[in-house]
């Protein structure tokens, strides 16, 4: 996870002085690079020790290490802007060898899994599982890469006896959302949380009294603010991306966890269903 994204995520839970430091770094990262810890502290009205403690809180050894991390991130972003023709995906360049591409890809996807699970609020997650488990129907919607994750989750839920509705066609998604009831749940997958079509579908579901669960990249985006419950899928795909790669990995981490949690909660129902389905499929080969 990038250092600026990490600071942005921590911001709401920081003490007042720490928030001053965080906001300055987020808004003026280039300026931070020119300041010593004493000058930085003086410019925002905090103590020098507060700067050091803040740096350590976000996993840095001290302020110099924090400046290096910010500098590296800004440099990476600047290179992508200066040489967009060399960018394949995020930090992966067309000049990288296949082995380097593989290492960068593995690192990016691993970070998405780790950061998504680290940021997960398990109290909220348990409520989400209970709501899905007790729902009459579950509509799952998403477009493009998120649509693939939506299909995968829908098929998994069907395997354990949960009636789920998934459809690639946007018009059908909207029509289905309009037919939901207060006993139903809608799960919306959108990494950006800004797509008008996804927000429209969520608005229609809420109008019918259905519970809306958003799986999205931030609690602050428009979709998250509409939803009843938010699960954050954390990915650093905010530079130059060719496709939804680590963002889809983050989504799949959450949807697979939803499936496993529901299997655990419905073990008396789910296990026989899975075994019977497996037997039926095996019999097709006879």
Superfamily holding 118-279? Glucose-6-phosphate isomerase like protein; domain 1 (3.40.50.10490)
Q: Where are the domains of the chain?
A: 3-87, 118-279
What is the per-residue pLDDT for 240?
45
Tell me which of 253 and 235 has the higher pLDDT: 253
What is the per-residue pLDDT for 268?
87
Give residue for tokens 């599982």.
129
Q: What is the pLDDT of residues 14-70, one digit of tens each?
A: 899 999 999 999 999 999 999 999 999 999 999 999 999 999 988 888 999 999 989
Q: Are 63 and 52 in contact (CB under 8 A)?
A: yes
Tokens representing 120 are 């997960």
| Of 85-99, 135-149, 241-255, 270-284, minimum mean pLDDT range | 85-99
Q: What is the pLDDT of residues 207-238, one digit of tens each?
A: 999 999 999 988 889 999 999 999 999 887 65
Which among 182, 184, 177, 180 is positioned nearest to 132, based on CA atoms? 184
CA-angle at 134, arms to 132 and 136, nearest 5°:
90
Supply the mean pLDDT for the chain: 88
What integer is the mean pLDDT of 251-271?
A: 94
Query: Residue 185: beta bridge partners?
Result: 138, 211
Euclidean distance between CA atoms 157 and 284, whole angstroms: 22
Q: Which fold has domain 3-87?
A: Arc Repressor Mutant, subunit A (1.10.10)
């Amino acid at each position: 996870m990038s250092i600026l994204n990490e600071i942005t995520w921590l911001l709401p839970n920081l003490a007042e002085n720490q928030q001053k430091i965080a906001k300055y770094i987020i808004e003026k990262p280039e300026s931070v690079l020119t300041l010593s810890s004493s000058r930085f502290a003086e410019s925002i009205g905090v103590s020098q020790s507060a700067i050091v403690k803040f740096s350590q809180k976000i996993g840095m050894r001290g302020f110099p290490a924090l400046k290096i991390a910010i500098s590296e991130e800004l440099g990476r972003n600047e290179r992508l802007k200066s040489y967009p023709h060399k960018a394949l995906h995020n930090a992966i360049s067309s000049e990288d060898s296949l082995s380097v591409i593989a290492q960068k890809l593995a690192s990016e996807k691993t970070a998405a899994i780790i950061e998504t699970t680290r940021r997960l609020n398990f109290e909220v997650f348990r409520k989400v599982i209970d709501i899905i488990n007790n729902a009459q129907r579950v509509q799952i919607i998403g477009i493009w890469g998120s649509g693939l994750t939506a299909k995968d989750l829908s098929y998994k839920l069907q395997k354990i006896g949960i009636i789920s509705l998934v459809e690639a066609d946007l018009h059908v998604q909207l029509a289905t959302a309009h037919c939901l009831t207060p006993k139903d749940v809608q799960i919306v997958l959108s990494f950006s949380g800004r797509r008008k079509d996804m927000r429209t579908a969520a608005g229609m579901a809420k109008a019918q009294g259905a519970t809306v669960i958003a799986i999205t990249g931030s609690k602050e985006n428009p979709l998250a603010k509409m939803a009843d419950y938010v699960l954050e899928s954390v990915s650093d795909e905010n530079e130059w991306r060719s496709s939804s790669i680590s963002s889809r990995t983050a989504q799949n981490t959450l949807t697979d966890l939803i499936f496993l949690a529901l299997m655990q909660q419905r073990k008396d129902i789910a296990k026989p269903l899975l075994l019977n389905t497996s037997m039926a499929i095996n019999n097709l080969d006879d």
